[in-house]
Amino acid sequence: MTILGIDPGTRITGVGILDVTYSSKKEIRILDAEAILLNPNDTMPLRLKEIFETLSSLIKKYKPNEVAIETMFYGKNAQSAMKLGHARGVAMLVAVLNDLPVAEYSPREVKKAVVGYGNASKEQVQAMVKRLLKLKATPKHFDVTDALAVALCHSHSRNFSTNVLSLRSASRFKNWKSFLENNPQKIIRYS
């Protein structure tokens, strides 16, 4: 399964793409990790267009099975929250236009899944992502390690019924057998 993790932002949007193989043991391979650096002098529509085009290109190149996006952190600045909402909306739109299911995780969920502590610092998340993915170099931007952390969190979460905003109605399946026949990637086989 290929997971596209996104840490949306209107200055920097972090992207992490992981290939996760569930065999006798879970193997994770990093396919790409990058920061979409947005020009602060551009208007908001131009920045959103850049996010859209870059994510579209990455989806076309890596063909992920699922997308995981970090939810918004609610701070004191409503204007910043609104701008972040625009970037999240664009990221979700790209996924939906490519028929990809989207999972959302709060910053606290991501930190708990990756570090084991919901109030971990960005530095702690970065160090753990580097360790878990066996990265030789630390990514320059926290946004990149945050995106990788979101993808890792999603790879750990097998409770898709609560996290995945499915594009198809669950009522489409008559029973578990028909669901599994239509979703073989959701089956984990242990040897």
Tell me the domain boundaries of the chain.
2-186
Token duo for residue 122: 């960005």
Q: Which of 104, 109, 143, 146 is catalytic?
A: 143
pTM score = 0.80
Model confidence pLDDT, tens digit, residues 5-44: 999 999 999 999 999 987 777 889 999 999 999 999 999 9
- Lowest pLDDT segment from 83-87, 113-117, 163-167: 163-167
Partner residues linked to 140 by β-bridges? none
Q: Which of 7, 66, 104, 109 is catalytic?
A: 7
CB 7, CB 73: distance < 8 Å:
no
Clarify whether 70 is annotated catalytic: yes
Mean pLDDT of 140-159: 89
Q: Does the domain at residues 2-186 carry the CATH identifier 1.10.10.410? A: no
> How far does Cα 101 stand from its chain's mean position?
11
Separation between Cα atoms, residue 58 and residue 4, nearest integer Å: 9
Q: Which of 66, 70, 104, 109 is catalytic?
A: 70
Helix, strand or coil for residue 12? strand
Separation between Cα atoms, residue 16 and residue 104, nearest integer Å: 15
**54 or 161: which leads in pLDDT:** 54
Mean pLDDT of 173-177: 67
CB 15, CB 147: distance < 8 Å:
yes
Clarify whether 19 is annotated catalytic: no
Asked if pLDDT for residue 148 goes beyond 50, the answer is yes
